[in-house]
Chains A and B, each alone.
Chain A
Amino acid sequence: MSALGHYLEEEGIPTVSISLIREHTAAIKPPRALWVPFMLGRPLGVPNDSEFQRKVMTAALSLLEREAGPILEDFPEDAPYEDLGAEPEGLSCPVTFPRLRSEGTLAERLSDEIAQLQVWHDLSVRHRGRTTLGATGLSPQAIGEFLVSSLSEEELASYRPDVGAAAALKLATDELKAYYYEAKSVQPGRHSPAEIEHWFWMETSVGQVFFEIYKKATRSTDPTMKPLATVALVPRTVREALKARDAVSASR
């Protein structure tokens, strides 16, 4: 981000950057930056709060009018608390909570889980007027089948001619995760991002499938699989917990 600001400015375009990691911005010294004390992934602070977003936006844009730099300023406010689980008004879902199935193969449990979340995902789309799914062109069930097949296939075939197998696997995992997150976020209850993350990785079959894909990627000698073993699949924050859980079940 800071490098883009530097190069654009060098070419004559004034820039201001929002900074999420102050230490990185301070090291690179781009022309103008506003550091914000927000969660990574949320440079404007909080979703669905236009007033707060506007404060951040005007604080950042106002730095364009300064006379000299480099400037690294701190935004003075924390992001307000945001409850992702606020139940949409005027919309009702026709089913009760899905009960996650504990018997059957991992593939069967995954398929069952995806099917049970469909009504919640439909509700999320109605509530938000959009979905972030769509990069793969596959249905959630088809993504699930592709992911399960990746665990046993030696030579995984991509479902898109323009992307290789590892990139297809990455797109598929991101999209199925978004399906789960979007569905979960409209279920009754309070859902902070951390709670949804915990649910996804520790309580669902899809979390188990993802961790199996991660383990397979760590053993792979194919360099295109390396991102799945590092930054692209299992967040650093949950990796150790999953390994610990794995060790406990292996010792039983």
Chain B
Amino acid sequence: MVRLSDLLPEEQESHLSKVPTLQPLPGQPWVRGKPLAQRRVAIVTTAGLCVRGDRPFDSGGAGMDYRVIPEGTYAADVIMSHVSVNYDRSGFQSDWNVVFPLERLRELVREKVVGAVGAFHYSFMGAIAPITLYEGKARELAALLKEDDVDGVLLTPV
């Protein structure tokens, strides 16, 4: 539906201007694992989601922290607070799965395509630069995911 070349010139320019600032991060990590049907999968999103009543993300820039979305959370309890308005939110308003496909993941587990769902999912707010600012919180999150025996993470942007 939308490729970069389909966007308005000012949008294209904004996204392309970031490319020279992006480099591969050092090393090329690669972890092999079990078949999908034996994995425990969690979702990590940069959509700025949080559970209703939780602290919203701060548009002032301290956005590299994360919010916890416990498994079992209902769609009605998840809201979005993201600094950027340069993406569509009507999809999320209509169906949270278009951003945070937790119901699809649960279905895949019921059908034994995926082994299990993690006990917790997580949300960051995207649009943080430089991207290395995520490092500390990402490593902290990795330790939590390991404690939860998660061995597969689906990352979803907006």
Contacts and interface: CB of A to CB of B under 8 A. Distances in A.
Interface in A1-60: 1-24, 27-29, 31, 37-48, 50, 53-54, 57-58, 60
Interface size range on B against A:
35 or more
Contacts of B89: 41, 132, 177-178, 181
A1 B153 CA distance: 12
Nearest to A32: B30
Interface string B112-143: 01100000000010110001101100110111
A123 interface: no
A96 to B, nearest CB: 23
Interface in B90-131: 90-95, 97-99, 101, 103-105, 107-108, 113-114, 124, 126-127, 131
Interface in A149-193: 162-164, 166-167, 170-171, 174, 177-178, 181-182, 185, 193
Contact of A128 (B14, B94, B154): B94
Interface of A: 1-24, 27-29, 31, 37-48, 50, 53-54, 57-58, 60-62, 64-65, 67-70, 78-79, 82, 84, 128-135, 162-164, 166-167, 170-171, 174, 177-178, 181-182, 185, 193, 196, 224, 227-228, 231-237, 240
Q: 4 closest pairs, A vs B, by CB?
A: A11-B142, A47-B95, A41-B88, A7-B138
